[in-house]
Structure 1
Amino acid sequence: MIHRLAELSFTQVDALDRDRTVVLFAVSPLEEHGPHLPIGTDLFHAEYFSEELAKRIIEANTGWTVLIGPSLPIGASAFDQAGTLRARARTVRNATLDYGAALARHGFRYILVTNGHAGPRHVVALEEAAAVVSRRYGARMLSLSGPVLWKFLRGKFNDRLEPLLGRPLTEAEREAMRGDAHGGLWETSLLMRVRPTLVDPAYAQLAPARFSLLDALRKNYPLRLGNRMGYIGSPAAASAEFGELARRLLLDVVWDVVRPVFDARDESWQQTSFLYKIPFLRTAFPYWVLVLGVLLAGLLLVQWLR
């Protein structure tokens, strides 16, 4: 069965079989996504996949229960405009960690975090939180976006698109997918499938917005460069057809990540993004730099006093 965690009493929650219960919750910010999409785009996508994954888990595991927990509408590495709820990466990590720990302390072994936001520090913060809870409580907590989102945006699953689409991609479609990252073809199409009434029809008149790697080093670059409309990619190329394609592909790919959480007998279920291995994206990096700076200053002082 599928339940809303917030709608149950503590006695109902406590009566659940911990070995056959999965908890899902979303962590994604409210963030600007151009003039054509709502600020809740990432959160709506994450919550949608929580619902769909809950159904798949129940179908694949007879007699299991899925709890869908309340969402956390915060995120790091977000483009900052009116309506954006941007938080420090450390805040995202700690809030997600505390959420997972509260569940794990009471014996829940399977905890899955959904997320529709690909901000690098956000993705890593969720992965850090999941790793700490898993290690500290012996649970299996996993952030599902890490192994999926950046591979998807970088075209690593493109070989699976045409079989799902049932036809070859056109050159125009391939061009529209190039550099698509925020409020463009994919996110606009997916929201057409998930919350169609929230997509402003004016998306069809928006020109492509693409940026160089050098551009991307600037803070809030899609709001400061180009047409300054806050999107990256080609929203005008979006369609309900591509929304269904994204939905099916992402569900299949995420399900490949989820299954080992229940089935693996070793640590192979613990998958992370390539971002997780980049030191300066880790939430503790500023503290490491500070400690290193203090140590170096101490060594210099000792040398000077000699």
Structure 2
Amino acid sequence: MGARDVDRVARGRRGVGGALRAFAPALRRARLSLPSRPGPASPRAALQHARVDASPGGARADRRAPGADHRSRSRQGRLPGIHPGELVLSVHLLEELSTTSLDALDRGRTLVILTVSPLEEHGPHLPLGVDAITARHFATEIAGRLVATRPGWSAVLAPTLHLGSFTFDAPGTVTVRQRVVRDAVVDYGLSLARAGFRFIVVSNGHAGPTHLAALEEASAIVARRARVTMASVSGHLAWSFRSGRFLDQVEAQLGRALTDTERAAFAEDAHAGWWETSMMLMLRPDLVDERWRALPPATYSLPERLVPDYPLKRGGQGYVGHPSLADPVFAKATCDVLVTEAMALVDALLDRRLGTFRRAPFSKIPLLRTNFWPVAAATGFAVAALAWLRPRR
């Protein structure tokens, strides 16, 4: 906290400005005492925690839509063994830190989480920001688990970048070129690396193949150029989740087995269906249109899915799957599993136990890589030029 921060607080509380003084950021943790035993959070602590759990756009929780406030407060109970006050000290919003406060963080024990997801249509019942809201939730959960399991560590949540490629084109969708996504994430990563941060993780809620490839390419570029640890955890997890590899763990969290109908529906789920509608019912039910209950299943064969914007063709409403099956209990079970799997990857990265980071299969397909078409065009031109210049007999 610097002098400007002290002045701002003082103006908001008449009569206390004279009792405050600026102090070195490095002393802040030592000078702020915590309660000796866990207990109900004070209103001030609840407000500060809500600010940590800000929405994807960086807005503070006290400015959320009606009905959202109780969800922010309830999250305090999700971190066993850690007092809410300690969470306030350990999880930071990058845009709310001063340069001196950020510079005071221990680079060797700080994880920066960068959220990157597009604005994209999600049927007639879900908001455009589904991917970003979901990704921000995972980023916040990972940050909370990190500081709960690694004493002395801090997490910094960077503002959400609403960028993404391979999107379904409809009013509200912001389509960004794959190269732009990759380069933007590279610039963010290199900037953080220049500031001395050694551990950077990308959180993402969009499963577009070229988008996943761009995030993994960007992370590899930053890691190589700056000699830091940076990885996108979403590609591998999204592929494993969509392939059904975590369903046994989800059933264990639910306390029951999925029916054959549910397993078949999960295999068909892809966009604004059962899972994403469940996620939004858990995270932001105020943004879910009530028509979700009456939406019929929308299923597509593999050849149909190869057509651009296929959920919007032939009367499609922009979703793929079974949104009417949505249930926030299902969302919570899947989240617990996914965050646990993500933390296993994060821990391995921080401890340098992961030699080669596991990527999504899309990154291995040349056609989906950022440089494929420029390289292919240049190669074709070179071959044509050599053929033309070759002496004719």
Equivalent in 132, 143, 152 of residue 241 of structure 2: 152
Is the contact between residue 278 and residue 330 of structure 2 (CA under 8 Å) also seen in structure 1? yes
Q: Which residue of 2 aligns with 1:49?
A: 138
Secondary structure in 2 aligned to 1:251?
A: helix
CA deviation vs aligned residue, 1:62-95 (integer Å, no higher than 9, x gap): 0111111111001000001111111011000000
Alignment partner of 1:252 is 2:334? no
Q: Which amino acid aligns with 1:284?
A: N
Q: Point out which structure has higher relative CO (alpha carbons under 8 A, 6+ apart).
A: 1
Secondary structure in 1 aligned to 2:111?
A: strand
Alignment partner of 1:298 is 2:393? no
Q: Which residue of 2 aligns with 1:210?
A: 299
Is the contact between residue 348 and residue 354 of structure 2 (CA under 8 Å) also seen in structure 1? no
Q: Which amino acid aligns with 2:211?
A: H
1:266 deviates by 5.7
Q: Which residue of 1 aligns with 2:250?
A: 161
Alignment partner of 1:103 is 2:192? yes
1-side partners of 2:363 and 2:230: how far apart? Answer: 16
Q: Which residue of 1 aligns with 2:213?
A: 124
1:178 deviates by 2.2
Is the contact between residue 233 and residue 345 of structure 2 (CA under 8 Å) also seen in structure 1? yes
Equivalent in 26, 32, 35 of residue 124 of structure 2: 35
Secondary structure in 2 aligned to 1:147?
A: helix
2-side partners of 1:254 and 1:21: how far apart? Answer: 17
Alignment partner of 1:286 is 2:373? yes
Q: Which amino acid aligns with 1:236?
A: S
CA deviation vs aligned residue, 1:123-152 (integer Å, no higher than 9, x gap): 000000000000111111111101101221
Q: Which amino acid aligns with 2:375?
A: W
2-side partners of 1:153 and 1:195: how far apart? Answer: 23
Task: Name the % identity.
Answer: 44
Q: Which amino acid aligns with 1:24?
A: I
In structure 1, stretches of 5+ residues that fail to align are: none
Secondary structure in 2 aligned to 1:267?
A: coil
CA deviation vs aligned residue, 1:97-147 (integer Å, no higher than 9, x gap): 101110011210000110000000000000000000001111111111011
Is the contact between residue 125 and residue 291 of structure 2 (CA under 8 Å) also seen in structure 1? yes
Secondary structure in 1 aligned to 2:235?
A: coil
1:264 deviates by 2.2
Alignment partner of 1:234 is 2:284? no
In structure 2, do the counterparts of structure 1 residues 280 and 138 end up closer, same or farther at CA, with 3 Å as the change threshold?
A: same
Is the contact between residue 147 and residue 257 of structure 1 (CA under 8 Å) also seen in structure 2? no
2-side partners of 1:180 and 1:38: how far apart? Answer: 18
Equivalent in 255, 259, 267 of residue 170 of structure 1: 259
Is the contact between residue 75 and residue 122 of structure 1 (CA under 8 Å) also seen in structure 2? yes
2-side partners of 1:265 and 1:247: how far apart? Answer: 24
Is the contact between residue 29 and residue 74 of structure 1 (CA under 8 Å) also seen in structure 2? yes
Q: Which amino acid aligns with 2:359?
A: T
2-side partners of 1:61 and 1:249: how far apart? Answer: 20
Equivalent in 309, 329, 343 of residue 220 of structure 1: 309
Is the contact between residue 242 and residue 267 of structure 2 (CA under 8 Å) also seen in structure 1? no
Is the contact between residue 185 and residue 238 of structure 1 (CA under 8 Å) also seen in structure 2? yes
1-side partners of 2:127 and 2:292: how far apart? Answer: 12
Secondary structure in 1 aligned to 2:202?
A: strand
1:265 deviates by 4.5
2-side partners of 1:8 and 1:178: how far apart? Answer: 43
Secondary structure in 2 aligned to 1:31?
A: coil
1-side partners of 2:351 and 2:182: how far apart? Answer: 27
Equivalent in 201, 210, 223 of residue 290 of structure 2: 201
- RMSD across aligned positions (CA): 1.3
Q: Which residue of 2 aligns with 1:135?
A: 224
Secondary structure in 2 aligned to 1:67?
A: strand
Higher Rg:
2
Secondary structure in 1 aligned to 2:390?
A: helix
1:175 deviates by 2.5
Is the contact between residue 257 and residue 271 of structure 1 (CA under 8 Å) also seen in structure 2? no
1:195 deviates by 1.1
Deviating above 4 A after TM superposition, structure 1's stretches of 4 or more consecutive aligned residues are: none
